[in-house]
Every structure is written in C-alpha cells, then in structure tokens.
C-alpha cells in the first residue's frame, strides 16, 4: 500500500507546487469516476436486513469497497488508451489498489453469511454476526483504509478544483 500512498502524496505535492496542471482528459476521468463512484448503491448480502443506522452495516461498506475497486479497474482499463501515465492515472490506480485490499474480506463475509444463515436474520442477529465476523481490530483497519481512500479522493477533487479555479 505504500506505493499507493506515495502516488497520492506526489500528486498532492505536484498540485500544490504547480508542477502538475491536469489535462482535460485527466479531469474528465476524475469527474466520471467520482460521479460513478458516488452513484454506487450500497449492497446487502442476500437476506440481510436493512441496517437501523443511516450509515449501514459495516459489511455494506466492505461490499462497497469491492464494488469501487472493480469500478476503478474498469475506468483504468477504459481510459488507458487515451491517457499517458501521470498523476491522475496514479491517483485512480492508488484508489483501485487500496479498495481492492477489501476484496478478500468481502468474499469471506459472503461465504460465512451464506454458510450461517438459512433464514433471514433479524437486525439484532445481524449486529451480533458483524461483531463476531468483524472484530474491533479489523474495523480499525477498515477505518484506516477508508481514511486513505478519502485522502485519495480529496486529491482528485483538489485537481478538479484547481482546474476550475484556473478556468478549465
């Protein structure tokens, strides 16, 4: 993950120092990716009840991370022919790399859920299930991962804002 963090730091520094001015295609990539990312619907596991919390279940966030990694990978594959490797591609690559680290956890949660629930559980049972399958340490790791993703997205937004302020 350190390469991803380094790429985000390099892009942020280049923006701050004025050594990187995002090209129109880079800006389009960032806008399109962020719009599609924000439009992703949170996913529940089969028969998982809705969460009583507006934030949803932690499992939903893990599944969202899996979805966003796939989205970022699809954007990279689709845009690669038109964009040279640069800071925006590095930012999106970092986003995909970071989000992808949750994919094994998403698969494990889906497998454990399918093995353990034949009938739909209650919200209370789901809370207990998450507490068992997503212990405190793992939740802290997810929080740290989410913080890194927020920073990566923030640098993408900074690039968009810098271009907007420059009149692009």
Cα radius of gyration rounded to whole Å, the chain: 18
With a cut of 80, say whether residue 164 has pLDDT above it: no
CB 57 within 8 Å of CB 126: yes
Neighbours of 57 (CB within 10 A): 24
- pLDDT above 80: residue 163: no
Q: What is the mean pLDDT of the chain?
A: 93
The pLDDT tens digits for 23-68 are 999 999 999 999 999 999 989 999 999 999 999 999 999 999 999 9
User: Which backbone phi and psi does 21 adopt, to 5 degrees?
Assistant: -115, 110
> Of 142, 135, 46, 137, which Cα lies nearest the Cα of 103?
142
Per-residue pLDDT tens over the stretch 3-22 = 877 888 999 999 999 899 99
CB atoms within 10 A of CB 45: 19
What pLDDT, on a 0 to 100 scale, did the predictor assign at position 166? Answer: 65
Q: Are 59 and 134 in contact, with CB atoms under 8 Å apart? A: yes
**Which pLDDT belongs to residue 39?**
97
Alpha carbon distance 113, 109 (integer Å):
6
pLDDT at 1 over 60: no
The pLDDT assigned to 7 comes to 87
Check whether 90 has a pLDDT greater than 80.
yes
Residue 168 has pLDDT above 70, yes or no: no
Name the pTM for this structure.
0.91
Q: What is the share, in percent, of the chain residues with pLDDT greater than 70?
A: 98
């Amino acid at each position: 993950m350190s390469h991803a963090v380094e790429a985000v730091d390099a892009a942020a520094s280049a923006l701050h120092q004025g050594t990187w001015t995002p090209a129109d295609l880079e800006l389009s990539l960032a806008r399109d990716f962020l719009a599609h990312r924000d439009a992703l619907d949170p996913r529940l596991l089969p028969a998982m009840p809705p969460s009583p919390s507006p934030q949803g279940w932690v499992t939903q966030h893990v599944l969202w991370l899996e979805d966003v990694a796939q989205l970022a990978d699809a954007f990279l594959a689709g845009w690669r022919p038109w964009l040279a490797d640069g800071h925006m591609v590095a930012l999106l690559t970092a986003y995909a790399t970071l989000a992808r680290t949750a994919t094994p956890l998403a698969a494990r949660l889906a497998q454990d859920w399918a093995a353990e629930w034949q009938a739909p559980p209650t919200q209370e049972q789901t809370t207990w299930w998450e507490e068992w399958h997503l212990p405190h340490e793992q939740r802290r790791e997810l929080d740290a991962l989410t913080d890194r993703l927020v920073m990566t997205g923030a640098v993408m937004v900074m690039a968009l804002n810098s271009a907007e302020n420059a009149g692009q």
